[in-house]
Structure 1
Amino acid sequence: MREIRREDDGALLGFLRPVDGGWEPLTVFGYPLGEPRSEEDAFEEVHRSGLELLMRRWEFLEDGEWYRCEILEANAEEVRVRPADYRYPHNVYALTLERPGPATFRPE
């Protein structure tokens, strides 16, 4: 995987992963930002939406139910979220999701 960083301050924006003759743009925690494409287009996608997507509301899957949440922290290994759904049955401030993918974590 290739790290993509912002030029001015070195902040990690996401990654590019080579796949079948193209490049898949990924968030800082490895979530796909779309279909594989040319390296240049994937690079632009990470710059355009890599960090912006982290500021949106997300949903996580627990016991067969999807619950709204906000991302507090994210890195290559895990994402720390705060449940933001009145239906969530547990009284917790934050949860840590290890390497969440589309099957268990998605943008709202």
Structure 2
Amino acid sequence: MREIRRDDDGALLGFIRPAGEAWEPLTVFGYPLGEPRSEEEASEEVHRTGLEVLMRRWEFLEDGEWYRCVILEAAAEEVRIRPDDHRYPHNVYALTLERPEPGTFRHE
């Protein structure tokens, strides 16, 4: 896996990782940003959408139900979220999801 950083300040934007003969663009917490493609195209995708996608609405799966949320913090191993769904049954400000993947965490 290779880090992709912003040129001007070195901020981590995401990663790319080998996927057969291609490269897969990933968020800072390893969530796929799209289909595998050339190394240059994958790097460009991370530059273009790596941080922007973190500001979108997301959903997390709990007890068989999908609930809307927003990302508060994102790191390589975990994502801290705030549930933003009136149907969510627990009164919590934030939850930490360890290594979320498309089967349990997705953006709208």
TM-score (norm 1): 0.99
The 3-state SS of whatever aligns with 2:48 is: helix
Q: Deviations over 1:13-48 (max 9, x none)?
A: 000001100000000000000110000000000000
Q: Give the aligned partner of residue 4 of structure 1.
A: 4
TM-score (norm 2): 0.99
Alignment of 1:1-108 (within 5 A): 1-108=1-108
Q: Alignment identity in percent? A: 83
Runs of 4 or more above 2 Å deviation: none
Q: Separation in 1 of the partners of 2:95 and 2:31?
A: 18
Q: Separation in 2 of the partners of 1:86 and 1:9?
A: 38
The total of aligned residue pairs comes to 108
Letter in 2 for 1:90: H
Note the residue ranges of structure 1 that are not aligned, 5 or more in a row.
Answer: none
Letter in 2 for 1:103: G
Q: Separation in 2 of the partners of 1:17 and 1:91?
A: 38
The 3-state SS of whatever aligns with 1:82 is: strand
